Amino acid sequence: MGIFQLIAEKLAKTKQAIGNKLFELFNKKVINDEFFEEMENCLISADVGVTTSVEIVEQLREEVINNRVKDPAVIKDMLRDFILERIDYEISPLQYPTVILMTGVNGTGKTTTVGKLAHKFKKQGLKVMMAAADTFRAAAAEQLCVWGDRAGVRVIKHEEGADPAAVVYDAIQSAKAHDIDILLVDTAGRLQNKKNLMSELGKIYRVIGREWAEADVRSYIVVDATVGQNAVSQIEAFDECVDIDGIVLTKLDGTAKGGVVIAICGERDVPIVHVGVGEGIDDIEDFDAESFVDAIL
C-alpha cells in the first residue's frame, strides 16, 4: 500500500468531518455568503481553529469573487492550495551527529515516538542510540527498553529518580565512543511545574552543548491529535520553555480532529515533522503536506 493510501485510510474520520461535508456543500452549487459561512463552520468544527478557518475562508471568498469563479471543482482546488501554503514547510535535513530531544505532556506518545523513530532511522542504515531521560518513573525506562529490544537499539538508562541530565551525559559519552549518528532522548516533560521543566531541559541543553558541541540538536514537542485545539495551547506553553524545532503529532489514526494540523501550522511557525498513525513500531510517517491535504479534502 502506498503512503498516500495509507494516510488516507488513517485519516478517514477527519475526511468525514471536512472533505465529505465540503463535498455536500460544493454539490449545492450556489456560491453565496451562506456557502462561505457553512465552509467556515465546517473547518472550525473540524478543529482547524477559528483564526485559521476565518483567514482561509476570507482568502478564498476574495479570490472567488475577484475571479468570478463558479465551478465548485475550481473552488476546491483553490481551497486545497490555500491550506497547502499554510502547512507546507521546508524542513532542514538532519546533520549527523544529531540529538533529538522529545518533549511534551504526559501520555502524548513521547516514549512510543522515540521507539518508532529509533526503528525508522536504524532501517535507514543510521547508527542509533536512545537515552531514557524520563527518570521520573521507573516504568518509563522499562518501556523504552522494550522499544529498544524491538528496534535492536541500545538504551542508556539510570535508576529511577536520577538526574535526567546525567543520563544524557552518559548517553553522549557512549554515543561518541560508538560513532552514533542519532541520539534520541526521551524526557518526562512534566508541565505541571513550568519552572522545574525549564530548569530540567535547560540543564540537558547545557550538557549537550558542552559535551557534544558539534551535534545538531533538535527539540521536538509531541502532541496528541485527539485533544484537538488543546494541542495548540500545549505547544504555546512548551514554546516558553524550549526552542521548539518541530512537532510530532500522534494518534492521527482514528481521530476526526485531524484538522488541528492546519491550526497548528497556521498559528505557530513550527513545522510538523512526523505524524503518529498507530501504536505499532512502523506507525510513524514523515509529515507530507500534499498527502495530508489530499486525504482530508
**Applying CB under 6 A, which residues contact ligand GDP?**
104, 106-112, 222, 250-251, 253, 276-279, 283
Q: Which of residues 121-140 bind Mg ion (CB under 5 A)?
A: 140
Please, which residue, 137 or 210, has the CB nearer to ligand GDP? Answer: 137
Minimum CB distance to ligand GDP, residue 117 (Å): 12
Minimum CB distance to Mg ion, residue 140 (Å): 5
* From Mg ion, ligand GDP, none, interface partner of 245 (C-beta below 5 to 8 A by class): none
* From Mg ion, ligand GDP, none, interface partner of 283 (C-beta below 5 to 8 A by class): ligand GDP
The closest residue (CB) to Mg ion is 111
Minimum CB distance to ligand GDP, residue 148 (Å): 14
Please, which residue, 105 or 207, has the CB nearer to ligand GDP? Answer: 105
Please, which residue, 209 or 280, has the CB nearer to ligand GDP? Answer: 280
Q: Which of residues 92-111 bind Mg ion (CB under 5 A)?
A: 110-111
291 binds Mg ion, rule: CB under 5 A: no
Minimum CB distance to Mg ion, residue 126 (Å): 22
Please, which residue, 38 or 278, has the CB nearer to Mg ion? Answer: 278
Cis peptide before 93 (omega within 30 of 0): no
By the criterion CB under 5 A, which residues form the site for Mg ion?
110-111, 140
